[in-house]
Protein backbone atom coordinates (compact mmCIF):
# COMPACT_ATOMS: atom_id res chain seq x y z
CA UNK A 1 0.00 0.00 0.00
CA UNK A 2 2.79 2.40 1.00
CA UNK A 3 4.59 1.58 -2.24
CA UNK A 4 1.49 2.51 -4.24
CA UNK A 5 0.93 5.70 -2.26
CA UNK A 6 4.53 6.75 -2.88
CA UNK A 7 4.21 5.99 -6.60
CA UNK A 8 0.95 7.94 -6.77
CA UNK A 9 2.37 10.95 -4.98
CA UNK A 10 5.46 10.96 -7.23
CA UNK A 11 3.37 10.75 -10.41
CA UNK A 12 0.95 13.47 -9.31
CA UNK A 13 3.82 15.68 -8.05
CA UNK A 14 5.76 15.25 -11.29
CA UNK A 15 2.65 16.25 -13.17
CA UNK A 16 2.32 19.52 -11.27
CA UNK A 17 6.08 20.19 -11.57
CA UNK A 18 5.94 19.89 -15.36
CA UNK A 19 2.84 22.04 -15.22
CA UNK A 20 4.62 24.83 -13.31
CA UNK A 21 7.71 24.72 -15.59
CA UNK A 22 5.72 25.07 -18.76
CA UNK A 23 5.11 28.73 -17.97
CA UNK A 24 2.70 30.60 -20.19
CA UNK A 25 2.28 27.93 -22.88
CA UNK A 26 -1.18 26.76 -23.83
CA UNK A 27 -0.59 23.64 -21.63
CA UNK A 28 -0.94 25.85 -18.59
CA UNK A 29 -4.53 26.65 -19.33
CA UNK A 30 -5.54 23.05 -19.78
CA UNK A 31 -7.30 21.17 -17.05
CA UNK A 32 -5.62 17.77 -16.68
CA UNK A 33 -8.24 15.04 -16.34
CA UNK A 34 -6.76 11.91 -14.74
CA UNK A 35 -8.31 8.50 -15.28
CA UNK A 36 -7.02 5.39 -13.54
CA UNK A 37 -7.59 1.73 -14.33
CA UNK A 38 -6.09 -1.69 -13.58
CA UNK A 39 -5.62 -3.24 -17.00
CA UNK A 40 -2.92 -3.28 -19.66
CA UNK A 41 -2.81 -0.97 -22.66
CA UNK A 42 -4.12 -3.72 -24.97
CA UNK A 43 -7.19 -4.47 -22.86
CA UNK A 44 -10.67 -3.36 -24.10
CA UNK A 45 -10.93 -1.13 -21.00
CA UNK A 46 -7.91 0.87 -22.12
CA UNK A 47 -9.17 1.05 -25.72
CA UNK A 48 -12.50 2.36 -24.45
CA UNK A 49 -10.78 5.01 -22.36
CA UNK A 50 -8.59 6.04 -25.32
CA UNK A 51 -11.85 6.65 -27.19
CA UNK A 52 -12.99 8.78 -24.25
CA UNK A 53 -9.78 10.82 -24.46
CA UNK A 54 -10.12 11.26 -28.22
CA UNK A 55 -13.78 12.27 -27.94
CA UNK A 56 -13.04 14.97 -25.35
CA UNK A 57 -9.83 16.28 -26.87
CA UNK A 58 -11.16 16.44 -30.43
CA UNK A 59 -13.92 18.74 -29.16
CA UNK A 60 -12.36 20.50 -26.20
CA UNK A 61 -8.63 19.89 -26.66
CA UNK A 62 -7.82 23.53 -25.94
CA UNK A 63 -9.31 23.17 -22.46
CA UNK A 64 -8.71 19.61 -21.32
CA UNK A 65 -5.82 17.18 -21.36
CA UNK A 66 -7.16 13.70 -20.62
CA UNK A 67 -4.48 11.41 -19.17
CA UNK A 68 -5.04 7.68 -18.74
CA UNK A 69 -3.05 5.72 -16.17
CA UNK A 70 -3.26 1.94 -16.83
CA UNK A 71 -1.88 -1.04 -14.86
CA UNK A 72 -2.75 0.27 -11.38
CA UNK A 73 -0.06 2.91 -11.92
CA UNK A 74 -1.87 5.29 -9.57
CA UNK A 75 -2.63 2.49 -7.12
CA UNK A 76 -4.99 -0.45 -6.74
CA UNK A 77 -8.73 0.04 -7.25
CA UNK A 78 -9.70 0.73 -3.65
CA UNK A 79 -6.96 3.34 -3.31
CA UNK A 80 -7.90 5.05 -6.58
CA UNK A 81 -11.56 5.09 -5.57
CA UNK A 82 -10.47 7.07 -2.50
CA UNK A 83 -8.45 9.40 -4.73
CA UNK A 84 -11.54 9.88 -6.91
CA UNK A 85 -13.70 10.56 -3.87
CA UNK A 86 -11.42 13.37 -2.75
CA UNK A 87 -10.85 14.71 -6.27
CA UNK A 88 -7.09 13.96 -6.34
CA UNK A 89 -7.94 12.18 -9.58
CA UNK A 90 -11.08 12.59 -11.65
CA UNK A 91 -12.12 9.14 -12.83
CA UNK A 92 -11.46 5.50 -12.04
CA UNK A 93 -12.60 2.48 -13.98
CA UNK A 94 -13.13 -0.39 -11.60
CA UNK A 95 -15.18 -3.47 -10.87
CA UNK A 96 -18.43 -2.77 -9.05
CA UNK A 97 -17.09 -5.31 -6.52
CA UNK A 98 -14.55 -2.74 -5.39
CA UNK A 99 -17.20 -0.03 -5.00
CA UNK A 100 -19.25 -2.17 -2.61
CA UNK A 101 -17.42 -1.05 0.53
CA UNK A 102 -17.94 2.60 -0.45
CA UNK A 103 -21.65 2.17 -1.10
CA UNK A 104 -23.47 -1.07 -0.45
CA UNK A 105 -25.94 -0.54 -3.31
CA UNK A 106 -23.20 -2.07 -5.48
CA UNK A 107 -23.51 -5.37 -3.58
CA UNK A 108 -26.25 -6.24 -6.05
CA UNK A 109 -23.74 -7.00 -8.84
CA UNK A 110 -21.70 -9.37 -6.68
CA UNK A 111 -24.65 -11.70 -6.21
CA UNK A 112 -23.77 -15.03 -7.83
CA UNK A 113 -25.99 -16.20 -10.68
CA UNK A 114 -27.89 -12.90 -10.58
CA UNK A 115 -28.32 -12.74 -14.34
CA UNK A 116 -29.73 -15.73 -16.21
CA UNK A 117 -28.16 -14.75 -19.51
CA UNK A 118 -25.69 -12.34 -21.06
CA UNK A 119 -28.63 -10.73 -22.85
CA UNK A 120 -30.41 -10.02 -19.55
CA UNK A 121 -27.17 -8.67 -18.04
CA UNK A 122 -26.60 -6.28 -20.93
CA UNK A 123 -30.24 -5.19 -20.95
CA UNK A 124 -30.08 -4.33 -17.25
CA UNK A 125 -26.87 -2.35 -17.65
CA UNK A 126 -28.42 -0.45 -20.57
CA UNK A 127 -31.65 0.30 -18.64
CA UNK A 128 -30.96 3.98 -18.10
CA UNK A 129 -33.62 4.50 -15.45
CA UNK A 130 -32.43 1.67 -13.26
CA UNK A 131 -28.72 2.21 -13.78
CA UNK A 132 -28.72 6.00 -13.43
CA UNK A 133 -30.51 5.56 -10.11
CA UNK A 134 -27.63 3.35 -8.93
CA UNK A 135 -24.94 5.65 -10.38
CA UNK A 136 -26.37 8.72 -8.71
CA UNK A 137 -27.08 7.14 -5.36
CA UNK A 138 -23.41 7.49 -4.34
CA UNK A 139 -23.16 11.25 -4.88
CA UNK A 140 -23.01 11.96 -1.15
CA UNK A 141 -19.85 9.84 -1.03
CA UNK A 142 -18.20 12.21 -3.51
CA UNK A 143 -18.33 10.03 -6.61
CA UNK A 144 -20.85 8.74 -9.10
CA UNK A 145 -20.98 6.20 -11.89
CA UNK A 146 -21.06 7.54 -15.44
CA UNK A 147 -21.02 4.42 -17.58
CA UNK A 148 -20.37 0.67 -17.51
CA UNK A 149 -17.95 -1.62 -19.33
CA UNK A 150 -18.49 -5.30 -20.01
CA UNK A 151 -16.25 -7.58 -17.97
CA UNK A 152 -17.67 -10.88 -19.20
CA UNK A 153 -18.43 -13.84 -17.00
CA UNK A 154 -16.36 -14.80 -13.99
CA UNK A 155 -15.15 -18.39 -13.67
CA UNK A 156 -12.67 -20.19 -11.45
CA UNK A 157 -9.11 -20.95 -12.43
CA UNK A 158 -6.47 -22.65 -10.36
CA UNK A 159 -3.29 -24.70 -10.37
CA UNK A 160 -5.35 -27.90 -10.07
CA UNK A 161 -8.64 -28.64 -11.87
CA UNK A 162 -11.91 -27.47 -10.29
CA UNK A 163 -14.81 -29.54 -11.60
CA UNK A 164 -17.28 -29.39 -8.72
CA UNK A 165 -17.56 -27.27 -5.56
CA UNK A 166 -15.85 -30.16 -3.73
CA UNK A 167 -12.64 -29.26 -5.55
CA UNK A 168 -12.80 -25.83 -3.93
CA UNK A 169 -12.82 -27.22 -0.42
CA UNK A 170 -10.24 -25.38 1.70
CA UNK A 171 -8.59 -23.95 -1.43
CA UNK A 172 -7.33 -20.40 -1.05
CA UNK A 173 -9.07 -18.43 -3.75
CA UNK A 174 -8.46 -14.75 -4.38
CA UNK A 175 -11.55 -12.55 -4.42
CA UNK A 176 -12.19 -8.86 -5.05
CA UNK A 177 -12.05 -6.91 -1.78
CA UNK A 178 -15.78 -7.23 -1.16
CA UNK A 179 -17.76 -8.78 1.71
CA UNK A 180 -20.28 -10.41 -0.65
CA UNK A 181 -17.50 -12.14 -2.56
CA UNK A 182 -15.99 -13.38 0.69
CA UNK A 183 -19.36 -14.76 1.76
CA UNK A 184 -19.86 -16.45 -1.62
CA UNK A 185 -16.55 -18.27 -1.21
CA UNK A 186 -17.49 -19.37 2.31
CA UNK A 187 -20.68 -20.90 0.93
CA UNK A 188 -18.61 -22.75 -1.67
CA UNK A 189 -16.34 -24.12 1.05
CA UNK A 190 -13.26 -22.26 -0.18
CA UNK A 191 -11.03 -19.99 1.82
CA UNK A 192 -11.57 -16.48 0.45
CA UNK A 193 -8.45 -14.37 0.10
CA UNK A 194 -9.32 -10.76 -0.75
CA UNK A 195 -6.55 -8.83 -2.49
CA UNK A 196 -6.12 -6.26 -5.23
CA UNK A 197 -6.03 -7.43 -8.85
CA UNK A 198 -2.39 -6.48 -9.36
CA UNK A 199 -1.24 -8.84 -6.60
CA UNK A 200 -2.89 -11.99 -8.00
CA UNK A 201 -0.16 -13.19 -10.37
CA UNK A 202 2.59 -13.26 -7.74
CA UNK A 203 0.22 -14.69 -5.13
CA UNK A 204 -0.56 -17.69 -7.36
CA UNK A 205 3.06 -18.03 -8.44
CA UNK A 206 4.32 -18.08 -4.86
CA UNK A 207 1.58 -20.40 -3.63
CA UNK A 208 -0.02 -17.79 -1.35
CA UNK A 209 -3.29 -18.68 -3.09
CA UNK A 210 -4.37 -21.74 -5.09
CA UNK A 211 -6.36 -19.84 -7.68
CA UNK A 212 -8.68 -16.98 -8.50
CA UNK A 213 -11.80 -16.24 -10.51
CA UNK A 214 -12.21 -13.88 -13.42
CA UNK A 215 -12.95 -13.57 -17.13
CA UNK A 216 -10.65 -15.14 -19.73
CA UNK A 217 -8.65 -11.96 -20.31
CA UNK A 218 -7.03 -12.28 -16.89
CA UNK A 219 -5.22 -15.38 -18.20
CA UNK A 220 -3.50 -13.50 -20.99
CA UNK A 221 -3.62 -9.75 -20.38
CA UNK A 222 -2.55 -10.28 -16.79
CA UNK A 223 -0.62 -13.48 -17.55
CA UNK A 224 -2.41 -15.52 -14.87
CA UNK A 225 -2.49 -18.41 -17.36
CA UNK A 226 1.28 -18.75 -16.87
CA UNK A 227 0.74 -19.80 -13.26
CA UNK A 228 -2.79 -21.31 -13.23
CA UNK A 229 -3.50 -23.81 -15.99
CA UNK A 230 -7.06 -24.92 -15.23
CA UNK A 231 -10.06 -22.75 -16.14
CA UNK A 232 -13.59 -23.99 -15.53
CA UNK A 233 -16.82 -22.50 -16.89
CA UNK A 234 -18.90 -22.54 -13.70
CA UNK A 235 -20.11 -19.00 -14.59
CA UNK A 236 -20.77 -17.73 -11.08
CA UNK A 237 -20.96 -14.00 -11.78
CA UNK A 238 -21.28 -11.28 -14.39
CA UNK A 239 -19.75 -8.30 -12.63
CA UNK A 240 -19.51 -5.10 -14.65
CA UNK A 241 -16.78 -2.50 -14.47
CA UNK A 242 -17.98 1.04 -13.96
CA UNK A 243 -16.41 4.34 -14.74
CA UNK A 244 -16.70 6.43 -11.61
CA UNK A 245 -16.17 10.20 -11.55
CA UNK A 246 -15.58 12.80 -8.86
CA UNK A 247 -18.87 14.63 -8.31
CA UNK A 248 -17.34 18.09 -7.87
CA UNK A 249 -15.48 17.72 -11.16
CA UNK A 250 -18.65 16.76 -13.04
CA UNK A 251 -20.76 19.44 -11.40
CA UNK A 252 -18.09 22.09 -12.01
CA UNK A 253 -18.34 21.57 -15.78
CA UNK A 254 -20.37 23.98 -17.91
CA UNK A 255 -23.49 22.49 -19.49
CA UNK A 256 -21.76 22.28 -22.89
CA UNK A 257 -18.61 20.66 -21.49
CA UNK A 258 -20.66 18.24 -19.42
CA UNK A 259 -22.41 17.13 -22.60
CA UNK A 260 -19.03 16.34 -24.15
CA UNK A 261 -17.84 14.36 -21.12
CA UNK A 262 -21.14 12.45 -21.04
CA UNK A 263 -20.81 11.75 -24.77
CA UNK A 264 -17.22 10.57 -24.20
CA UNK A 265 -18.40 8.08 -21.57
CA UNK A 266 -20.98 6.69 -23.98
CA UNK A 267 -18.40 6.39 -26.74
CA UNK A 268 -15.97 4.66 -24.37
CA UNK A 269 -18.55 1.96 -23.59
CA UNK A 270 -19.29 1.49 -27.28
CA UNK A 271 -15.62 0.97 -28.15
CA UNK A 272 -14.94 -1.26 -25.12
CA UNK A 273 -17.89 -3.48 -25.94
CA UNK A 274 -16.96 -3.69 -29.63
CA UNK A 275 -13.60 -5.09 -28.57
CA UNK A 276 -14.79 -7.38 -25.78
CA UNK A 277 -16.01 -10.54 -27.54
CA UNK A 278 -13.18 -10.42 -30.05
CA UNK A 279 -10.55 -10.16 -27.31
CA UNK A 280 -12.14 -12.98 -25.28
CA UNK A 281 -11.92 -15.28 -28.31
CA UNK A 282 -8.29 -14.28 -28.86
CA UNK A 283 -7.51 -14.76 -25.15
CA UNK A 284 -8.88 -18.33 -25.18
CA UNK A 285 -6.72 -19.18 -28.17
CA UNK A 286 -3.64 -17.59 -26.66
CA UNK A 287 -4.24 -19.16 -23.23
CA UNK A 288 -4.51 -22.61 -24.85
CA UNK A 289 -1.12 -21.93 -26.37
CA UNK A 290 0.14 -21.19 -22.85
CA UNK A 291 -1.08 -24.62 -21.77
CA UNK A 292 -4.32 -23.58 -20.08
CA UNK A 293 -7.07 -26.23 -20.13
CA UNK A 294 -10.64 -24.92 -20.46
CA UNK A 295 -13.36 -27.16 -19.02
CA UNK A 296 -17.14 -27.06 -19.21
CA UNK A 297 -18.92 -28.17 -16.06
CA UNK A 298 -22.35 -28.67 -14.57
CA UNK A 299 -23.12 -25.32 -12.95
CA UNK A 300 -25.99 -26.70 -10.84
CA UNK A 301 -23.92 -27.83 -7.82
CA UNK A 302 -22.16 -24.46 -7.72
CA UNK A 303 -25.48 -22.67 -7.96
CA UNK A 304 -27.10 -24.69 -5.20
CA UNK A 305 -24.33 -23.77 -2.77
CA UNK A 306 -24.49 -20.03 -3.35
CA UNK A 307 -28.15 -19.28 -4.04
CA UNK A 308 -28.96 -18.83 -0.29
CA UNK A 309 -26.88 -15.67 -0.55
CA UNK A 310 -29.68 -13.96 -2.51
CA UNK A 311 -32.14 -14.18 0.37
CA UNK A 312 -29.48 -13.44 2.96
CA UNK A 313 -28.32 -10.26 1.27
CA UNK A 314 -31.79 -8.98 0.44
CA UNK A 315 -32.78 -9.20 4.08
CA UNK A 316 -29.58 -7.44 5.20
CA UNK A 317 -29.64 -4.63 2.64
CA UNK A 318 -33.10 -3.23 2.03
CA UNK A 319 -31.92 -0.99 -0.83
CA UNK A 320 -31.44 -4.01 -3.05
CA UNK A 321 -34.98 -5.40 -3.28
CA UNK A 322 -36.41 -3.07 -5.97
CA UNK A 323 -33.31 -3.47 -8.13
CA UNK A 324 -33.34 -7.23 -7.62
CA UNK A 325 -37.02 -7.50 -8.58
CA UNK A 326 -36.44 -5.48 -11.72
CA UNK A 327 -33.53 -7.74 -12.67
CA UNK A 328 -35.74 -10.81 -12.23
CA UNK A 329 -38.28 -9.26 -14.61
CA UNK A 330 -35.56 -8.76 -17.19
CA UNK A 331 -34.31 -12.33 -16.64
CA UNK A 332 -37.81 -13.61 -17.33
CA UNK A 333 -38.20 -11.50 -20.43
CA UNK A 334 -35.00 -12.91 -21.93
CA UNK A 335 -35.67 -16.48 -20.93
CA UNK A 336 -39.00 -16.24 -22.76
CA UNK A 337 -37.10 -14.83 -25.72
CA UNK A 338 -34.83 -17.86 -25.63
CA UNK A 339 -32.01 -16.77 -23.32
CA UNK A 340 -30.21 -19.42 -21.23
- Residues engaged in binding ligand GCU (CB under 6 A): 38, 77, 94-95, 151, 176, 197, 214-215, 218, 241
Q: How far is the CB of 102 from ligand GCU (least distance, A)?
A: 15
CB of 127 to ligand GCU, least distance (A): 21
Rounded alpha-carbon distances, angstroms, from residue 253 to 109, 188, 242? 30, 47, 21
Q: Which residue lies nearer to ligand GCU by CB, 94 or 297?
A: 94
Distance CA 110, CA 107 (A): 5
Which of 221, 246 has the CB closer to ligand GCU?
Answer: 221
Residue 200 CB, shortest distance to ligand GCU, in Å, is 7
| Comparison of 144 and 214: residue with beta carbon closer to ligand GCU | 214
CB of 159 to ligand GCU, least distance (A): 18
Find the shortest distance in angstroms from Cβ 304 to ligand GCU: 24
Nearer to ligand GCU, 193 or 215 (CB): 215
Question: What is the edge-to-edge ordering of all strands in the sheet holding 293-296?
Answer: 191-194, 172-175, 211-214, 154-158, 230-237, 293-296
Comparing CB distances to ligand GCU, the nearer of 208 and 253 is: 208
Instruction: Give the contacts of 173 (CB within 8 A, at least 6 positions apart).
Output: 156, 158, 185, 190, 191, 192, 193, 209, 210, 211, 212, 213
Number of other CB atoms surrounding residue 41 within 10 Å: 13
Closest CA to 124 of 339, 337, 334, 340: 334
Q: Residues of 236-246 as b/e, b for ≥16 C-beta within 10 angstroms?
A: bbbbbbbbbbb
Nearer to ligand GCU, 176 or 228 (CB): 176
State how far the Cα of 81 lies from the Cα of 143, in Å rounded to an integer: 8
> Nearest distance from residue 315's CB to ligand GCU, in Å?
27
Amino acid sequence: MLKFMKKTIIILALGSLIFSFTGCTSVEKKRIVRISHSQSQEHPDHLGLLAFEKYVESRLGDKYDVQIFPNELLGPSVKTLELTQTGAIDYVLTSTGNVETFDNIYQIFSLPYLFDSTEAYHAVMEDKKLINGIYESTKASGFQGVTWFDAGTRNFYAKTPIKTPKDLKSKKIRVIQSPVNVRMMQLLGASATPMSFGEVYTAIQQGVIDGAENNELALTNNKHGEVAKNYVYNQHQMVPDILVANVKFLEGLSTEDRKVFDGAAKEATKVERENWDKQVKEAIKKAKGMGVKFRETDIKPFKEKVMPLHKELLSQNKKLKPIYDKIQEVNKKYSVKGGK
